[in-house]
Structure 1
Amino acid sequence: MKAKAKPKKLLGFLYTCLFLGLGILPTVVKPTPALSAEYIYFNYGPLKLSLSRESLEIFANEGRITKEFEFYAQMLNPEALEQLRMLLQKRIKISPVAISRLGKSPMGEAFLEGLGKMIKTHPGRNGLHSLRGALVLAAADSEGLTLMNIVRQFPTEGMLIDTDYIFDVQKELATLFRYRDAAVNAIANQATLEAAAENTVNVSQLADLQQPGPYQFTDQVITLSGRRRQSPLGLSGETKFEVALYLPKGNPKPAPLVVMSHGFASDRNHFTYLASTARSLTTNMRSISVR
């Protein structure tokens, strides 16, 4: 039983490494690879194992288990094998342009660099750039962004999985998920308390946000710089971002302030139509551009 337990954990580690690649967003370059990953190599302690892309592809497309893949398949029950096949074929609908923009962000690039410590082209060489190319090419390909297509588009003959970093990534992700859940719960609880304390609002008496208000306004764009700070991957670079100010003119009293920040694959201009209406209704606006 113990002999089977270790290979089963190893197989789980391999799948975890590969699946992490689906959430990474690369940069804008769209290279055409001269090579593609023919083998996936991975280490588990003193063991050096490999799996050909062809065997994995046959299983993903046909559900057929080759002699090579049989070594790994026997460690999983039929239900787990079917789930694996679905994950290999699962397509994420996202354009190469959107992936490129997301990959330019400091968060996306740092995450990709961290993943490159696990998925390498050669021992000791970060797979950052190869992952970028594979993800962009997979998204641009007719098959789309699938796990199998990412392996196919990986621009070296072999994809090396370094399991030494998997435990660290699993711990980091678990911590991030706990922070996320705690933040969401805190916001939801605070919103519930504030909603219960507020008086009933007569919506018919509120301004029609589809129509411009009575005030003129001024626009101003300023550039802010963020200091370098420590991150899990080391000292981050200096961050610069733009803030667009939309200020009503002639307002006799202080106006409320609204701060908006765009999401991934967007920019501060995305909220221009909202700012144009709100600033004419005596509302100060701040539209922050995140890079």
Structure 2
Amino acid sequence: MKAKAKPKKLLGFLYTCLFLGLGILPTVVKPKPALSAEYIYFNYGPLKLSLSRESLEIFANEGRITKEFEFYAQMLNPEALEQLRMLLQKRIKISPVAISRLGKSPMGEAFLEGLGKMIKTHPGRNGLHSLRGALVLAAADSEGLTIINIVRQFPTEGMLIDTDYIFDVQKELATLFRYRDAAVNAIANQATREAAAENTVDVSQLTDLQQPGPYQFTDQVITLSGRRRQSPLGLSGETKFEVALYLPKGNPKPAPLV
């Protein structure tokens, strides 16, 4: 029983790493990266495991399980395999400009830095900048922002996933989602209270602006001339423009000029 439980726990790490590490994120000109991640490496205690990007692509596009991927697939039931394939195929619609700004915002950069503790280019090196670049390049690519494309745009030959930090990332995600939900609920509740506090306006009692009012007026158009003046290009010519005046009738007091 212990021997069977260990692979399942290991596969849980793999599945969660793919989902949390790459599937959660939502330069207009896309440069071609010099390198792209061909393999995803996992550490699980003393074990060092790897999975090629090609095997993931074949499974995502064709549903075919290669010999390499079979080691992981045999520990999942058909329903879980289908969910994994849907996750690999999921495309997030977001522009490269938007994701670049999001990744450079204080909250976005802090989150990517935490995620970079788990997804690295080399042992002991935070993957923040590589992740941010891969996200922007994937969003700018015709394939769009998918897990496979993020791995493809990762600027090293291998992507290292340090499973020791996966639970820290899960906690950060839970906190982030709770904060988001609380903020949305607070805004919605405030809007509801403000709407309920507003006085109801009886539109039928308002003045119909399409009908003439009780005041009469005369309109008059006058032409004004502007004097010649000095400009950066020399003396300007005389300018003329028309002004429309609407003068109220029967008002003993001077009318304000608007």
Question: TM-score w.r.t. structure 2 length?
Answer: 0.71
Q: Which runs of 5+ in 2 are unaligned?
A: none
Highest CA radius of gyration, 1 or 2?
A: 2
> Which stretch of structure 1 is more off in the superposition, 171-180 or 143-152?
171-180
**3-state SS of 1:58 partner:** helix
Cα 1:251–1:152 change in 2 (3 A) is: farther
Q: Cα offset for 1:236?
A: 56
**3-state SS of 1:121 partner:** strand
Q: Cα offset for 1:117?
A: 0.9
Give the number of aligned pairs: 256
Q: Which runs of 5+ in 1 are unaligned?
A: 257-291
- Asked whether the 8 Å contact 2:55–2:68 carries over to 1, the reply is yes
Q: Cα offset for 1:132?
A: 2.1
**3-state SS of 2:125 partner:** coil
Cα 1:222–1:31 change in 2 (3 A) is: farther
> Which stretch of structure 1 is more off in the superposition, 246-255 or 9-18?
246-255
Cα 1:102–1:187 change in 2 (3 A) is: closer
> Which stretch of structure 1 is more off in the superposition, 146-155 or 196-205?
196-205
Distance 1:218 1:161 in 2: 80
**3-state SS of 2:122 partner:** coil
Distance 2:82 2:20 in 1: 19
Q: Cα offset for 1:182?
A: 3.6
Q: Cα offset for 1:60?
A: 0.9
Question: TM-score w.r.t. structure 1 length?
Answer: 0.63
Does residue 79 (structure 1) correspond to residue 76 (structure 2)? The answer is: no
- Asked whether the 8 Å contact 1:26–1:109 carries over to 2, the reply is no
> Which stretch of structure 1 is more off in the superposition, 138-147 or 192-201?
192-201
Q: Deviations over 1:87-133 (max 9, x none)?
A: 11111112212222222211112211111111111100111222122
Cα 1:169–1:208 change in 2 (3 A) is: farther
- Asked whether the 8 Å contact 1:26–1:104 carries over to 2, the reply is no
Q: Cα offset for 1:85?
A: 0.7
- Asked whether the 8 Å contact 1:27–1:102 carries over to 2, the reply is no
Cα 1:49–1:23 change in 2 (3 A) is: closer
Q: Cα offset for 1:12?
A: 2.7
**3-state SS of 1:172 partner:** helix
Cα 1:39–1:246 change in 2 (3 A) is: farther
